[in-house]
């Protein structure tokens, strides 16, 4: 029977070490948490079948947000180190040997990296959308629809559209039936969504709403093609969306540079 191998009292020392490393090396909290837990998993301090602490316990011990904890667990799951059973908990898996393709979201630095990742995604996700159109289930469509609804709600109430945006793309990757598409998206995480790298302060409310409505319509076009099982239309809609995303990111960064130069002159 699985057991909880780390109690809350076991974690503070590790949490203090993590905070010091994060401050000293200026590295992302998510990456640091992945390293801390991953080290325990690979060294078998947490053995295969053991249950990890709850999200709340990890949050308290490491002094990080729930979003950081969930992203770290998502990366560990994509790496094949843990598996989460909703309503039950997260459990350690047998570490896999051998090489696996690695491209981690925390390594995406600056606009150049983001533009390159969007170029890569345009190729990969276009084919993923085509496969999803032929293989998707009703449950897959329901997950995509839920993500679309979350995105639309965030437009009207000025909420966070990054998470539902990512979950929409992740749902499509998983609908391919090829686990490597889903693994890759999970591993990259929220960092692949361009708005995580663009300050919302650059956009006025009207411009922000117009921008997000365009993105939402592009998502809707992808969903409609997948829903009616039209792989060619799905591929085209996904490619158009990601090419547009890349151009929006490029223009945003270009405008930001102009604003910075003008500010320096004045």
Of 24-28, 158-162, 165-169, 221-225, the least confident? 24-28
Q: How confident is the model at residue 161 (pLDDT cuts 50, 70, 90)?
A: confident
Identify the CA nearest to 28 among candidates 116, 118, 107, 117: 107
Q: How confident is the model at residue 12 (pLDDT cuts 50, 70, 90)?
A: low
Q: What's the confidence (pLDDT) of residue 1? A: 43
Q: What's the confidence (pLDDT) of residue 152? A: 93
How is the chain split into domains, by residue range?
8-92, 105-265
Take residue 150 and report the two structure tokens written for it.
């979350």
pLDDT tens by residue, 122-133:
999 999 999 999
pLDDT tens by residue, 74-123:
888 877 788 877 777 888 887 665 444 455 544 555 667 778 888 888 99
Cα–Cα dist 215/221, whole Å: 10
Cα–Cα dist 115/192, whole Å: 10
CATH for 105-265, options being 1.20.120.530, 3.40.50.720, 1.10.569.10, 2.40.50.140 = 1.20.120.530
* DSSP-assigned letter for residue 193: S
Helix (H) or strand (E) holding 48: none
Cα–Cα dist 58/64, whole Å: 8
CATH architecture of 8-92: Orthogonal Bundle (1.10)
Q: What is the dihedral of CA 149, 151, 157, 162, to 10 degrees?
A: 150
């Amino acid at each position: 029977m699985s057991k909880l191998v780390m109690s809350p009292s076991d974690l503070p020392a590790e949490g203090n070490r993590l905070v010091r490393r994060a401050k000293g090396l200026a590295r992302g909290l998510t990456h640091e948490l992945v390293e801390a837990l991953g080290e325990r998993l690979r060294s078998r301090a947490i053995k295969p079948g053991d249950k990890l602490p709850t999200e709340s316990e990890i949050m308290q011990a490491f002094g990080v947000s729930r979003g950081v904890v969930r992203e770290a667990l998502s990366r560990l799951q994509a790496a094949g180190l843990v598996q989460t059973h909703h309503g039950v908990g997260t459990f350690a898996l047998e570490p896999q040997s051998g090489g696996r393709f690695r491209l981690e979201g925390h390594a995406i630095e600056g606009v150049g990296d983001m533009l390159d990742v969007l170029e890569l995604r345009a190729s990969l996700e276009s084919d993923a959308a085509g496969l999803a159109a032929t293989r998707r289930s009703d449950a897959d469509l329901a997950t995509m629809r839920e993500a679309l609804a979350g995105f639309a709600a965030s437009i009207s109430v000025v909420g966070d559209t990054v998470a539902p945006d990512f979950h929409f793309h992740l749902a499509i990757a998983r609908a391919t039936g090829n686990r490597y598409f889903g693994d890759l998206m999970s591993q990259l995480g929220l960092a692949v969504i361009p708005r995580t790298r663009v300050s919302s302060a650059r956009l006025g409310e009207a411009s922000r709403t117009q921008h997000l409505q365009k993105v939402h319509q592009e998502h809707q076009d992808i969903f409609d093609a997948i829903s009616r099982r039209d792989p060619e239309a799905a591929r085209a809609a996904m490619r158009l969306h990601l090419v547009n995303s890349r151009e929006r990111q490029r223009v945003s960064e270009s405008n930001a540079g102009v604003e910075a130069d003008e500010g320096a002159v004045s």
